[in-house]
Every structure is written in structure tokens, then in C-alpha cells.
């Protein structure tokens, strides 16, 4: 029996656009001819999988259908949640609708629509290795081997209980930097939020650990006279759905259930959930975006425009030895910097400090700032500009060693 992929597609990416509700959801941002939602669709376009179910809301319905068509999906189902209730009701709703096809034992895999997973062949290989280990109670959760001590991701620890089976012994939700380093030393893994299990396992675990959510969700899905199906889209009854308690799948089930096993992935994984992660991605894939016509030379060095998206621009700055950009501010954009090379001296308003490689700096709009290179080695910085105006004209200079203050 093929695995049914369920793509959770209701997030807004608020860590990227914290001050605005008008910006595009992260899964639909064009990062250079592709979106994270498209990458997720590509991932489930494999012989392992049945047609996908996408759990979303009316706000994103147009985008979801556009990309399904663009990627050639003719068979699919869309579930429209009338309101945000977190991942537990979303996962249970999708599972209950799967039962309408009388596929009680069908394996399900739940994926976020905004994750970037490279080396898909390893991802598929691990699914094949573990699919026959599923039963009516257990859940397999995918973990990614950490590449740095992130404070943005959750983690889990494991212990081996049988040959090739690792049981999750503890979940840790977004630790501080010190504790993240300790978890990594204990061979902890990032919690990717990807789950593999049977439909009957979901029913069993919700009935046992979150019966209130189970009963209110089943009423909304199967007992509603206003639940409609139109053009492969399920419109869930709003009044009954509102009665469901909002809760994450992690809290409702994973932290309580006994049979949680880990699938450990040693492959590049990211949710591109902040600008530092996005800058890392563009730096690692710089050759795909570099064009000579987008190289601009300045007295202090040069910058390269790598990619301009909707309300953001990605640059690489190179500040030569004993050089500095002007002391300046911007009215219409903020900036995120990540140091790639060197030890720049940073000015943020009245504060001055040094940064090292892999450090990040946020420069809010209206902030007076400067980058200086006091050393022989060139400073390289990846920069994300975010705002409505992303032009060189949006520079107010206060001091400049090259005489450019007007």
C-alpha cells in the first residue's frame, strides 16, 4: 500500500515578516524560480506515495491550486480549515478524511510545506527501511543531525531498544544556546516535524492522550451538515471546527505517547525560518545566482546582487582591507547581515563592536550603521535587505571617507 503524504500548509512565516501581515507566507516566497511548497510537492512526487492531501486555509487556496497545477498534480485533496487550531487538529482532520476512503491501515507521512530537504534519495531510503515497522500504536518521527546549536528548532534524544530501532527518550523545545550545545554533545537531533505512522495509530493515540480533541474533531469532520466537497476541496464546518481546542501535535500526542521512534537523517535540512538561514542558503549556492552584470564596484570594495525577490534583496558585500562603508541609515528597509569572512567592526547607532565569522546582525530601518574593515583580510558579509524600497537611493550618509556625503 502506498504512503499518503499530508502537507501542512497553513503557516505564515512570522519570523521573517514579524512586523507585517501583508507579506507572502514563507512557503510561497519565490527564492529564485522555486518555492518551498514546490520543493515539498517535488518530494512527494515519487512512486512511494499516493496522491497528496494538503491541509490549508481559504487564504492560501489560490496559491495551493496554482502550484499543484504548475507541478502537474491532477489528483489531490485539499482540506480547508476555517480557523487556525495548530497542528494536532490539522493532523487528525486529515487522518479522519483518509478513513472515508476505507484505508484504515494506510501509512501516512505528515510534512510541513516550508522545509528544505536535500539528498532526497536518502530520505526515500529511510522511509523504505522503516515502513514495515509501523503498527497500530507507534509513530516514527524524522530527526535531522544538527549542523550548529540552533535556538530556533526543537530537539529530541534517543535510546536504542532493538536493532535498528531508536526510541525517542526526551523532547526538548527550543533550548538556549548553551543547552543546545549540550544536547548536540549527547547526540540529540533536530525535530523536523515530519511524522510517519498508520491511520489507526493516529486514532489510537488521540483517543488515549487527547480524547477531547478527538471527539470535537470527529464531529466537525463527519457530523457536520455544512461540511462540503467541491473541486477536490473539503470545506470544514466553521461552527463545529471552532469548538476544537488549539494544540500542537507535539504537546497533544508526542510528549505523552509511549511508542515514539526516531528516523535519523544525516542530510542537509532547514526550514529557512530566519534570514540567517536564508543567507546561508544563498551563500552555499552562490554559483547558481551569481551574474557578472550584477557586480557593482565601490571605493570600499564591491557588492553582488544575487537575488531580488518580493520585498527582499540578497547581496554579498566585500569590504577591502582598511576600508569602510559610509556611516548611513535607510528610511524604507531593514537589513540582516551574516559575517562570512573576516572580523568587521560594526557601528549600530552609538554602539561599536566587532563580529566574527558566522555572527549575524540585525539593522532595523532608521538605524545609523557602518561596517569597517581594520585588517588585511577582506571582510565578506551576506546581506538581506527587507522593505518596500530596495534601491541605492535609499541611503542617507552622515560620514564617508570617500567624500560622498551630500
Share of the chain above pLDDT 70, in %: 96
- Give the pLDDT confidence score for residue 20 in this predicted structure: 52
**223: Cβ–Cβ under 8 A, 6 or more apart, which residues?**
240
- Summarize the confidence of residues 290-313 as an average pLDDT: 96
Q: Up-side HSE of residue 195: CA atoms within 13 Å toward CB? A: 25
276-399 adopts what CATH topology? Answer: Jelly Rolls (2.60.120)
- Give the pLDDT confidence score for residue 101 in this predicted structure: 66
**343-365: string of b/e by CB count within 10 Å (b at 16+)?**
ebbbbeeeeeeebeeebbbebeb
Which ranges constitute the DSSP H helices of 100-210?
120-130, 177-185, 199-209
> Over 60: is that where the pLDDT of 216 sits?
yes
- Give the pLDDT confidence score for residue 34 in this predicted structure: 95
Contact present, 323 and 299 (Cβ < 8 Å): yes
**352: Cβ–Cβ under 8 A, 6 or more apart, which residues?**
345, 346
**Average pLDDT over the chain, rounded to whole?**
93
How many C-beta atoms lie closer than 10 Å to residue 258's C-beta? 11
Residue 223: pLDDT band with limits 50, 70, 90: low
- The string of pLDDT tens digits covering residues 235-279 is 888 889 999 999 999 999 999 999 999 999 999 999 998 999 999
**402: Cβ–Cβ under 8 A, 6 or more apart, which residues?**
299, 300, 326
- Give the pLDDT confidence score for residue 12 in this predicted structure: 78
What SS3 string covers 45-94?
CCCCECCCEEEECHHHHHHHHHHHHHCCCCCCEEEECCCCCCHHHHHHHH
- Summarize the confidence of residues 45-71 as an average pLDDT: 96
- Give the pLDDT confidence score for residue 19 in this predicted structure: 55
| Cα angle 4, 95, 215; round to 5 | 175
C-alpha cell at 339: 559575517
- Summarize the confidence of residues 9-26 as an average pLDDT: 74
> Over 60: is that where the pLDDT of 211 sits?
yes
Closest CA to 89 of 81, 98, 101: 81
Closest CA to 315 of 388, 391, 366: 391
Spell out the domain ranges in the chain: 4-273, 276-399
Residue 104: pLDDT band with limits 50, 70, 90: confident
> Rounded to whole angstroms, how far apart are CA atoms 192 and 213?
23
Residue 372: pLDDT band with limits 50, 70, 90: very high
pTM of the predicted model, to two decimals?
0.92
Share of the chain above pLDDT 90, in %: 84
- The string of pLDDT tens digits covering residues 159-183 is 988 777 899 999 999 999 999 999 9
Question: Is residue 164 left, alpha or beta, with left meaning phi > 0 and alpha meaning psi from -120 to 50?
Answer: left
4-273 adopts what CATH topology? Answer: Spore Coat Polysaccharide Biosynthesis Protein SpsA; Chain A (3.90.550)
- Give the pLDDT confidence score for residue 16 in this predicted structure: 79
> Rounded to whole angstroms, how far apart are CA atoms 133 and 4?
16
| Cα angle 41, 17, 383; round to 5 | 90
- Summarize the confidence of residues 112-118 as an average pLDDT: 94
Q: Which residues pair with 144 in a beta bridge?
A: 190, 265
Rounded to a whole number of angstroms, the distance between the first and last alpha carbons of the chain is 70
Amino acid at each position: 500500500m502506498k504512503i499518503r503524504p499530508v502537507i501542512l500548509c497553513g503557516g505564515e512565516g512570522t519570523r521573517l515578516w514579524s512586523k507585517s501581515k501583508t507579506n507572502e507566507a514563507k512557503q510561497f516566497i519565490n527564492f529564485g524560480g522555486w518555492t518551498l511548497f514546490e520543493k515539498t510537492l517535488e518530494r512527494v512526487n515519487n512512486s512511494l506515495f499516493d496522491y497528496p492531501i494538503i491541509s490549508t486555509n481559504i487564504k492560501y487556496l489560490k496559491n495551493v491550486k496554482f502550484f499543484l497545477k504548475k507541478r502537474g498534480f491532477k489528483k489531490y485533496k485539499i482540506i480547508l480549515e476555517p480557523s487556525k487550531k495548530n497542528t494536532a487538529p490539522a493532523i487528525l482532520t486529515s487522518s479522519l478524511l483518509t478513513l472515508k476512503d476505507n484505508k484504515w491501515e494506510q501509512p501516512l507521512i505528515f510534512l510541513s510545506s516550508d522545509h528544505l530537504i536535500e539528498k532526497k534519495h536518502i530520505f526515500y531510503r529511510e522511509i523504505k527501511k522503516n515502513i514495515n515497522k509501523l503498527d497500530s500504536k507507534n509513530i516514527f518521527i524524522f530527526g535531522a543531525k544538527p549542523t550548529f546549536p540552533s535556538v530556533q528548532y526543537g530537539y529530541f534524544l534517543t535510546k536504542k531498544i532493538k536493532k535498528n530501532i531508536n526510541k525517542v527518550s526526551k523532547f526538548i523545545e527550543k533550548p538556549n544556546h548553551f543547552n543546545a550545545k549540550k544536547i548536540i554533545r549527547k547526540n540529540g537531533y533536530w525535530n523536523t516535524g515530519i511524522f510517519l505512522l498508520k491511520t489507526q495509530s493516529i486514532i489510537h493515540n488521540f483517543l488515549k492522550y487527547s480524547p477531547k480533541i478527538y471527539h470535537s474533531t470527529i464531529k466537525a469532520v463527519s457530523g457536520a451538515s455544512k461540511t462540503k466537497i467541491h473541486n477536490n476541496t473539503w470545506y470544514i464546518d466553521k461552527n463545529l471546527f471552532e469548538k476544537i481546542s488549539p494544540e500542537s501535535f507535539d504537546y497533544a500526542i508526542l510528549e505523552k505517547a509511549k511508542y515514539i521512534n526516531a528516523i535519523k537523517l544525516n542530510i542537509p535540512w532547514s526550514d529557512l525560518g530566519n534570514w540567517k538561514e536564508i543567507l546561508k542558503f544563498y551563500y552555499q549556492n552562490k554559483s547558481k545566482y551569481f551574474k557578472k552584470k550584477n557586480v557593482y564596484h565601490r571605493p570600499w570594495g564591491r557588492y553582488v546582487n544575487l537575488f531580488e525577490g518580493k520585498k527582499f534583496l540578497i547581496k554579498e558585500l566585500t569590504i577591502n582591507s582598511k576600508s569602510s562603508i559610509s556611516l548611513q541609515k535607510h528610511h524604507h528597509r531593514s537589513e540582516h547581515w551574516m559575517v562570512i569572512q573576516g572580523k568587521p567592526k560594526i557601528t549600530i547607532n552609538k554602539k561599536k563592536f566587532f563580529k566574527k565569522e558566522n555572527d549575524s546582525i540585525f539593522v532595523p530601518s532608521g538605524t545609523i550603521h557602518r561596517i569597517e574593515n581594520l585588517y588585511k583580510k577582506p571582510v565578506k558579509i551576506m546581506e538581506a535587505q527587507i522593505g518596500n524600497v530596495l534601491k541605492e537611493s535609499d541611503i542617507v550618509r552622515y560620514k564617508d571617507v570617500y567624500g560622498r556625503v551630500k
